[in-house]
Structure 1
């Protein structure tokens, strides 16, 4: 199995690291110590960006050489928060964090996924009462297949995965973050995800 580096030790990064370790992957987690992210990225084949989205572009752009040739799985949302601390607007309107990362890291295969749900659903999608949908956006078909495998290891069934297309489709998935504050106000802080039903 490929070595996975998770950048970010918060709720999202911690949950993903634990779940992937339990699935049998070798996982390293970077903290805020100088050089930690570079060391983790350098030794991994797959890097997961679980850093706060507002600072992700700057942080990851500094890792251009360490991320060269790697798969970068971007699960973050770059937002401007409102007074309540919840996402109120997009940091990159008319674009997306994933597109900005792909532009800044042309030798890296960026795949956007897992960003349209409360973080607990990322590693326990079957805990919901209805089947959720997880989206994929990116330019590299091989990288998408690898990420599909990771999603399966996180208990996502293949029929729950929807490939939206190229990296530009990430702007639609990232815009879904604007639902969050309204859903939380309406229903409370409970697990939820977007679901495409047919």
Structure 2
């Protein structure tokens, strides 16, 4: 069991918090106030960033000291959204939110994951007709191993998890978000994920 703080209480954060609680972890989802977030992060072993990507960097930078030496699992994508609320461009072209977070939080172990799928798949990967793939990007092998354990608790089989390497590889998975509006317009709002077929 780990003490986990999930930042973000929307559909993504709420779903992850519920699933991790069912898996036996002690999960806290603080309110939006800086004070409650700081206290929840301070007492956690692992922090999940499920805040809206456009504001993630600023919000987490304010928690620099609380995040020191902790694992930050970043599941957000920083995008410019169109009038329909769907992403049209990346907020950090030539980089990624995960890279910017690692630069801003050098004493935090940032691991990018779970950002290449509709949010429902994060906690129910076996519900898809074909096996999905979930990716890991980060500088710390130890932190990525811990996040692998959390993914297993969410139902991800070992063969569905692909370690892409360092944090710079997150720019590839974050760019996959640009598929999303086209897939939704083509097929409707149904669960889907990126899958690597071998």
TM-score in terms of structure 1 length = 0.99
Distance, in Å, in 1 between the alignment partners of 2:31 and 2:121 is 23
Distance, in Å, in 2 between the alignment partners of 1:45 and 1:73 is 11
**Deviation sequence 1:44-94 (CA, Å, 0-9, x none):** 010000000000000000000000000000000000001211000000000
SS in structure 2 opposite 1:190?
Answer: coil
2:29 paired with 1:29? yes
Distance, in Å, in 2 between the alignment partners of 1:122 and 1:144 is 17
Q: Which residue of the partner structure matches residue 62 of structure 1?
A: 62
Q: Which residue of the partner structure matches residue 128 of structure 2?
A: 128
How far does residue 36 in structure 1 lie from its aligned partner after superposition?
1.4
Matches within 5 A, 1:14-163: 14-163=14-163
How far does residue 32 in structure 1 lie from its aligned partner after superposition?
1.1
How far does residue 37 in structure 1 lie from its aligned partner after superposition?
1.0
Distance, in Å, in 1 between the alignment partners of 2:36 and 2:12 is 18
SS in structure 1 opposite 2:77?
Answer: coil
2:177 paired with 1:177? yes
Q: Which residue of the partner structure matches residue 8 of structure 2?
A: 8
Distance, in Å, in 2 between the alignment partners of 1:42 and 1:102 is 18
Distance, in Å, in 2 between the alignment partners of 1:9 and 1:85 is 18
* Equivalent pairs, count: 198
Distance, in Å, in 1 between the alignment partners of 2:176 and 2:117 is 9
Distance, in Å, in 1 between the alignment partners of 2:73 and 2:34 is 22
Distance, in Å, in 1 between the alignment partners of 2:34 and 2:4 is 19
How far does residue 30 in structure 1 lie from its aligned partner after superposition?
1.5
Unaligned runs of 5+ in 2: none
SS in structure 2 opposite 1:68?
Answer: coil
Runs of 4+ residues over 4 Å off in structure 1: none
How far does residue 119 in structure 1 lie from its aligned partner after superposition?
0.2
Unaligned runs of 5+ in 1: none
TM-score in terms of structure 2 length = 0.99
Distance, in Å, in 1 between the alignment partners of 2:47 and 2:107 is 14
Distance, in Å, in 2 between the alignment partners of 1:6 and 1:62 is 16
How far does residue 33 in structure 1 lie from its aligned partner after superposition?
2.6
Distance, in Å, in 1 between the alignment partners of 2:152 and 2:118 is 18
